Amino acid sequence: RQEQYRALRDVPAVTRDGVHIGLHLNAGLLIDFGHLHETGAEGVGLFRTELQFMVAQRMPTAAEQQELYRKVFAASGGKPVTVRTLDIGGDKILPYMAKLEEENPALGWRAIRIGLDRPGLLRMQLRALLKAADGRPLKIMFPMVATVDEFVRAKGIVAREKAHLSRHGHRLPSECRLGAMVEVPSLLFQIDEIAREADFLSVGSNDLMQFLFAVDRENRRVADRFDPLSVAALRAFRLIAERAAAAGCPVTVCGEIGGRPLDAMALIGLGYRNLSMSPAAIGPIKAMVLSLDAAAVRATIEAEMARMHDGDSLRPVLTAFARAR
Ligand code: PEP
Ligand code: MG
């Protein structure tokens, strides 16, 4: 199997009916970038910057952050990297930061909320990224966006940092694209507005499912209580794909779901054309894409979603579809 997947490294990920699917990597540490070459992924679709902060003994200084990102961009060998700003809080604790006593850390002071309330930290990271890009194109996305206003404020902070750097004679990225993670369900009901404001969207299905079904992503006892291939979940994924396409806003799925062949097949059927996943998933997903008829899976999903009731899962039907290919 591994051999088989390795042989696919340079084969373009195109379905039997000619639909190209962008396969990207999720990365967190510099060593992960070695997988870019090994897997033939098109780029890094999710760079989780908090990992480097979590393994550090203390908060990296501005200069250290810039150096980390410089190495990251060098290691990507010219392939695009979508950098996510610090997603700390919740289950991601920095050992050198005072631990907050919160009843519900997943719903607490975390990610972009900290970034907006303590803009010094966010500004330092953004400045380090803008400098480290050193004239290359830069893609930045913000985690746990719950309202369009939060995203607009984050964009304002980026604009101020860019202005500051150019005033001081620094070279800016040739292009700076800003995206929002879609992982808080409230964004589903502001999807047209966020798709207009953002240069791209990235669906964080791990958190989106956790919050949509009120199922703690770390709690095994409740893990099986919902299915991401249920009609309810697929409607959420479909809404995002359709509204983003209508707004001309590119959208990627970067949660674990994109790395599971059956689930990824469903996402393609719903219109997703870019998936970001762990390195080990690239081979199996590419093999699935190569054998897939995108129009056929789309037709199957549409028909089944129209026929089925909320809560029903398309898993059995899609499993049968996958076997019959
Ligand atoms: C997600 O929530 O799906 C996601 C990609 O981010 P993380 O797993 O880092 O929360
Ligand atoms: Mg998340």
103-123, pLDDT tens digit by residue? Answer: 999 999 999 999 999 999 999
Listed in sequence order, the residues at least 6 apart from 207 whose beta carbon sits closer than 8 Å to its beta carbon are 144, 181, 183, 184, 217, 255
* 3-class secondary structure, 181: strand
Please tell me the residue having the least CA distance from ligand 1 atom 4. 204
Exposure string of 92-117, with b = 16+ CB inside 10 Å and e = fewer, is bebeeeeeeeeeebbeeebbbbbbbe
Strand partners, 138: 176
* Ligand 1 site-directed mutation target among 48, 202, 212, most atoms within 8 Å of CB: 48
Q: At 310, is the pLDDT very low, low, confident or very high (cuts 50, 70, 90)?
A: low
What phi and psi values does residue 156 have, to the nearest 5 degrees?
Answer: -60, -40
Q: What number is the average pLDDT over the span 152-162?
A: 98
CA of 170 to the centre of ligand 2 (A): 32
Residue 91 pLDDT more than 80? no
DSSP state of 76: T
CA-CA-CA-CA dihedral for 30, 250, 38, 269, to nearest 10:
130
pLDDT of residue 95: 87
| Ligand 1 site, residue 207, Cβ cutoff 6 A | yes
Rounded distance, CA 21 to CA 275, Å?
A: 8
* Ligand 1 site-directed mutation target among 92, 183, 184, most atoms within 8 Å of CB: 183
**How high does pLDDT run on average in the chain?**
95
How do residues 34-48 score in pLDDT, each as one tens digit? 999 999 999 999 999
> Which tokens sit at 115?
């970034």
More confident residue, 254 or 311: 254
CA of 305 to the centre of ligand 2 (A): 26
CA of 206 to the centre of ligand 1 (A): 5
| Ligand 1 site, residue 206, Cβ cutoff 6 A | yes
**Burial class for 316, CB neighbours closer than 10 Å (0-12, 13-18, 19+):** exposed
Please tell me the residue having the least CA distance from ligand 1 atom 1. 204
How do residues 184-226 score in pLDDT, each as one tens digit? 999 999 999 999 999 999 999 999 999 999 999 989 999 888 9
Judge if ipTM > 0.95: yes
pLDDT of residue 311: 64
Indicate yes or no: pTM above 0.95.
yes
Cβ atoms 295, 269 nearer than 8 A:
no
Helix, strand and coil content of the chain, in percent to the nearest 5, comes to 50, 15, 35
Strand partners, 22: 274
Rounded distance, CA 209 to CA 230, Å?
A: 11
Rounded distance, CA 118 to CA 125, Å?
A: 12
Rounded distance, CA 234 to CA 89, Å?
A: 28
CB atoms near residue 71 (< 10 Å):
14
